[in-house]
Structure 1
Amino acid sequence: MKEIYFAENLKRFREAKKLTKEELGTRVGVSGAMVGYWESGKNEPRMGKVQVIADILEVGIDELLFSEPPIHNAPSNFKTLSEIKQRGIEAILQIPDDELDLLVALLEKNAKKTISR
Structure 2
Amino acid sequence: MVISAYFESSPKASARAERRKLMLEVRGAHAGAADLPVTVHNISATGLLIECDAPLAINDRIDIDLPHAGLVSATLVWVSGPMFGCQFDTALSPAALSAAQLRSAIEVESRASSEDDSAPVPAGGNTSNFAANLKRLRMAKGLSQADVAEQLGVSGPSISGWEKGRARPKEDRLSDLAALLGIPVSQLLVDPQPDMIKDLIDTSRDQIARATGVAPDRVRIIVEF
Give the TM-score normalised by the residue count of structure 1.
0.56
Structure holding more helix per residue? 1
> Which residue number corresponds to residue 21 of structure 1?
145
Q: Deviations over 1:21-57 (max 9, x none)?
A: 0110110111121100000000111010000000000
Residue number among 47, 56, 61 corresponding to 2:171 in the alignment: 47
CA contact (8 A) 1:8 1:69 kept: no
CA displacement at 1:69 relative to structure 2: 6.6
Q: Runs of 4+ in structure 1 displaced over 6 angstroms?
A: none
Q: Is 1:76 matched with 2:198?
A: yes
Superposed, 1:1-117 pairs within 5 Å as: 5-68=129-192, 76-77=198-199
Q: Distance in 2 between matches of 1:60 and 1:78?
A: 18
Letter in 1 for 2:166: K
> Could you tell me how far 1:76 is from its partner in structure 2?
2.5
| Letter paired with 2:150 | T
- SS of the aligned residue for 1:19 comes to coil
The verdict on how the C-alpha distance between 1:70 and 1:24 changes in structure 2, with shifts beyond 3 A counting, is farther
**RMSD of the alignment, in Å?**
2.6
Q: How many residues align?
A: 74
Q: SS at the partner of 2:167?
A: coil
The verdict on how the C-alpha distance between 1:8 and 1:55 changes in structure 2, with shifts beyond 3 A counting, is same
SS at match of 1:77: helix
Structure 2: stretches of 5+ with no match in the other structure:
1-125, 202-225
2:131 partner letter: A
Task: Summarize the Cα distance change of 1:10–1:77 in structure 2 as closer, same or farther, 3 Å threshold.
Answer: same
Flag the 1:47–1:14 CA change in 2: closer, same or farther, 3 A. same
After superposition, the Cα gap between the structure-2 partners of 1:23 and 1:54, relative to the gap in structure 1 and judged at 3 Å, is: same
Bigger relative contact order (CA 8 A; separation at least 6): 1
| Counterpart Cα distance in 2 of 1:76 and 1:16 | 16
TM-score by length of 2: 0.30
Write the distance in 2 (CA, Å) between the matches of 1:77 and 1:62: 19
Cα offset, 1:78, TM superposition: 7.9
Relative to 1, partners in 2 of residues 1:69 and 1:41: Cα closer, same or farther, differing over 3 Å? farther
Alpha-carbon distance in structure 2 between the residues aligned to 1:32 and 1:47? 19
